[in-house]
Amino acid sequence: MSSSLAIEACGVAKCFHIYDKPRDRLRQVFGSAFARLFKTQERRHYRPFWALKECSFEIRNGEAVGVIGRNGSGKSTLLQLICGTLAPTAGSVAVNGRVAALLELGSGFNPEFTGGENVYMNASLLGLSRQEIDDRYDEIVEFAEIGDFIDQPVKTYSSGMMVRLAFSVIAHVDADTLIIDEALSVGDVFFTQKCMRFIRKFMESGTVLFVSHDTAAVRALCNRVIWLDEGSIVADGDPKEVSQGYLDAYFLEQNSCGQRSRPQRESRSDRAKWQTIPLRDQRDAFINASNLRNDLRVYAFDPSAAGHWSGGGSIVDVRFTDQQGYPLSWIVGSEVVVLEVTALAHESMESPIVGFFVRDRMGQEIFGDNTYLSYADDPLYLAEGDTLRARFEFQMPRLAKGDYTVTVALAEGDQASHRQHHWLHDALTFRSETTSVASGIVGIPMNRVSLEHSHVGR
């Protein structure tokens, strides 16, 4: 194994034995022994389940790799093989350096031991000596923020407290590779943010393997994503592309109509009816030296953008306009704009929903909304051939320099249960050319910024 690699998996596979009845386990044990003793054909009393099937990949030192996939796709099994808590049925896994892993909730803890006792036990399993644990114990307890519960048995902990303690331990073992398996989803928002800050800092020098159903978090943290499905690697590559493929496959499977062909590209005459109003440059109302300027160049709607379509309806136009309905070619951040999404119904629809996300170049969802709550009490009905136009009016935030995209969707139903008719990734693209954002992802338009002071004794 090369020293530049943190993890190397070669054709790794894992098979579990599924028994229909408890007595079948005993029959298998004695049957196997009998077959070996008398050199006869062994009879199988179980059903084989291949959780992983010939997976091969390499993770280089310093990479941040996300693993996504539905429940049962083999993600947790893969991580346990990497950590050494499971042995592969076939193939091999090699790891360079010390690995610290936060796997399923409570792993590595004895519920009868106190939190402090579990710190010593878990840290020693991760390779720390008694003296090293003594030196770091106070920092571990402080990071966990569970107070006096550190002296109580772990069986009395809530799931959030257990995650706090487990993450605190792995954050202080000087690991070369950090593995996180969805456990952070049960923590409160404040500790989760604290963990994410630690992970980002760790990524500056270490290797991270991050498993989550939150594709936005995976895209934000990772520079590479592995997509697992039914134990096999479906895709391995760019976070944005792999995440979009995973979401498309999920939505198509959930859609009762199944996959159909992409809607035909509109002809030039069809497109003309959506572009009859001349574009307006919103910069005209501002002087170039204004500190309110945040020039956003808007590109044309792309009807052939990646996505999925079920056939019930299609999105035919997406544009930014001003409040009077004039399409915008440039937007000045902090001004009121309208995102207008136009769709056609190819079949009748009850309770149509139109939604959007604005994402940055890493695929992080900056903001978004949909029409459901506005019409929940009085849903619309569309007949075949009807046109639906959604208008989202908002104050455009100031954005850091870079490329941004608008993902739009047409669905039918409600927030909890709906059918996706048309989903378009990156249907509209715009670029922030200049910015006044001092820090963070977006800037909030300030009405006034001031300082007040008073002299002592007055």
Stretch 326-350: mean pLDDT, rounded? Answer: 87
pLDDT band at 152 (very low <50, low <70, confident <90, very high): very high
Contacts for 213 with CB less than 8 Å, ≥ 6 apart: 68, 182, 185
pLDDT at 263 over 50: no
The CATH code of domain 261-443 reads 2.70.50.60
Domain extents in the chain: 5-251, 261-443
Q: Higher-confidence residue: 293 or 447?
A: 447
CA–CA distance, 43 with 34 (Å, rounded to integer):
10
Of 47 and 289, more confident: 47
Lowest mean pLDDT across 68-77, 86-95, 203-212, 279-288: 279-288
> In the numeric block, which tokens belong to residue 65?
């790799």
270 confidence band (pLDDT: 50, 70, 90)? low
Percent of the chain with pLDDT over 90: 29
Average pLDDT over residues 198-214: 86
Residue 306 main-chain phi, psi, to 5 deg: -60, 150
Distance (Å) of CA 435 to CA 89, 100, 174, 400: 55, 40, 39, 6
Q: What is the mean pLDDT of the chain?
A: 82
Note if the pTM is more than 0.75: no
Contact 352, 411 (CB under 8 A): yes
- For 124-142, give the secondary structure using H, E and C: HHCCCCHHHHHHHHHHHHH
* pLDDT at position 415 over 50: yes
Q: Which CATH architecture has domain 5-251?
A: 3-Layer(aba) Sandwich (3.40)
Per-residue pLDDT band for 400 (boundaries 50, 70, 90) equals confident
Question: CA distances (Å), 232 to each of 14, 69, 164, 236, 446, in order?
Answer: 11, 10, 32, 11, 50
- Yes or no: say if 414 and 371 are a contact pair by the CB < 8 Å rule: no
